[in-house]
Amino acid sequence: MPLSKRFTLTQYLIEERRRYPGASGDFNSLILDVALACKGIAKAVAFGELAGIMGNHETEEGGSINVQGETQKKLDVLSNDVFIHRTEWAGNLAGMASEEMEAPYQIPAQYPRGSYLIVFDPLDGSSNIDVNVSVGSIFSVLRAPQDVIDTGRDVVETDFFQPGAKQVAAGYAIYGPTTMLVLSVGNGVVGFTLDPNLGEFMLTHPHIQVPADTHEFAINASNSRFWEAPVKRYVDECLAGKTGPRGKDFNMRWIASMVAEAHRILMRGGVFMYPRDTKDPSKPGRLRLLYEANPIGFIMEQAGGRASTGREAMLQVQPTSLHQRIGLIFGSKNEVERIERYHAEPAQVEISNPLFGKSSLFRD
């Protein structure tokens, strides 16, 4: 398609807004600011070591551990700053929350406050940055509670505790061989590729759909001894291949950038699992509900895929804390539903009975 005929992100947003004649334009303005933040991060990523942005962030006390108890990279901190400063000024936001900040961020007094909340993971997969593997940014847009809009009061954590189904929009940028922005405003999923000459996101993937079936799965198999029975069963059946109960061979991938796994799955199908496990009883899962599982879940469902905890639809989960972790399974619908069925079926437990040898029984 000739460049002159391609939609830009701005054009796409304006066309979408025409469906809502009363819309103020604040939402579009917010998404464009987020897109500019992503372009800024893409530039920093592209310069890498030349810009001195690789490696761990060191606080004044000499540490580099963030609120999650995880190593914070220089680029985590830089990306968080870029997100804040590109979006705080315009009067579209009532407040924000991020993986890198323990408490919600208040819009500074010199700026007007708006009616949206944004929650983000400014740099996903940041352990990959030093080895030059794709990373990304993830964001979720919520409507602020009415009293926040009416009074302009400071936001508190509970203002963000909205189930994923309430998201107004969600998206991610992936900083890979090309930079892409993938977005859903609740009307399907579209993908834009950053044209480095124009510095514009151009619509290149107008109707992203996740194939319902797949023969590719992604899971960190080093955790297998901590998995719960339904996940073990699913992976065992995949590994058994053609001669197993699935009757087909499966392929496996693990990038350790969830955003990159989500993108692969959107492009060609697959299933991703970072399930609840028994590794650390204080952490029911690895990934975070509000700024990882919910936005990616929204995009998957908008693209015809599915996202789940294994036990319930991800987008129905009522959040209870800002940095809450959760077991996350998403991707091709038929596979995710199969894994949910395995969770719903009573577990088969092997017991040794001295009288009858090995037998099995079922428990809830």
Rounded-to-integer distance, Cα 161 and Cα 240, Å: 41
Binders of ligand AHG among residues 36 to 95 (CB under 6 A) are: 70
Token couple for 328: 């996350």
The torsion angles phi and psi of 107, rounded to 5 degrees, stand at: -65, 125
Q: Which stretch binds ligand AHG (CB under 6 A): 36-44, 50-58, 124-132, 297-305?
A: 124-132
Query: Under the criterion CB under 5 A, does residue 261 sit at the interface with Mn ion?
Result: no
Q: Which stretch binds ligand AHG (CB under 6 A): 32-40, 47-55, 121-129, 235-243?
A: 121-129
Rounded-to-integer distance, Cα 135 and Cα 199, Å: 19
* Distance in Å, CB of 325 to ligand AHG, minimum: 11
* Alpha-carbon distance values, 10 to 58, 196, 303 (Å): 38, 16, 21
Only one residue has tokens 């091709």, namely 332
Please count the residues of this chain forming the interface with Mn ion, following the rule CB under 5 A: 4
Question: Which residue lies nearer to Mn ion by CB, 148 or 218?
Answer: 218
Query: Under the criterion CB under 6 A, does residue 258 sit at the interface with ligand AHG?
Result: yes
Query: Under the criterion CB under 6 A, does residue 275 sit at the interface with ligand AHG?
Result: no
- DSSP H helical segments within 93-183, as ranges? 146-151
Q: Which stretch binds ligand AHG (CB under 6 A): 37-45, 192-200, 251-259, 316-324?
A: 251-259
- Beta strand 271-274 with 216-218: parallel, antiparallel or unpaired? parallel
Residue 324: alpha-carbon gap to chain centroid: 14
Number of C-beta neighbours around residue 316 at 10 A: 12
Q: Per-residue string for binding with Mn ion, 87-116, x by CB under 5 A?
A: ------------x-----------------
Rounded-to-integer distance, Cα 211 and Cα 333, Å: 8
Which of 72, 126, 134, 167 forms a contact with ligand AHG (CB under 6 A)?
Answer: 126
Q: Which stretch binds Mn ion (CB under 5 A): 13-21, 117-125, 243-251, 340-348?
A: 117-125
Instruction: Report which residue type is found at 21.
Output: P
Rounded-to-integer distance, Cα 145 and Cα 7, Å: 33
Instruction: Report which residue type is found at 231.
Output: V
Question: Which residue lies nearer to ligand AHG by CB, 12 or 274?
Answer: 274
Token couple for 13: 């947003």
Question: Which residue lies nearer to ligand AHG by CB, 46 or 221?
Answer: 221
**220 is in the binding site of which of Mn ion, ligand AHG, none (Cβ under 5 to 8 A by kind)?**
ligand AHG
Query: Under the criterion CB under 6 A, does residue 257 sit at the interface with ligand AHG?
Result: yes
Using alpha carbons, select from 241, 310, 302, 246 the residue that is nearest to residue 272. 310
Question: Which residue lies nearer to ligand AHG by CB, 115 or 128?
Answer: 128
Q: What is the binding site for Mn ion (CB under 5 A)?
A: 99, 121, 123-124
Q: What is the binding site for ligand AHG (CB under 6 A)?
A: 70, 99, 121, 124-126, 220, 256-258, 274, 286
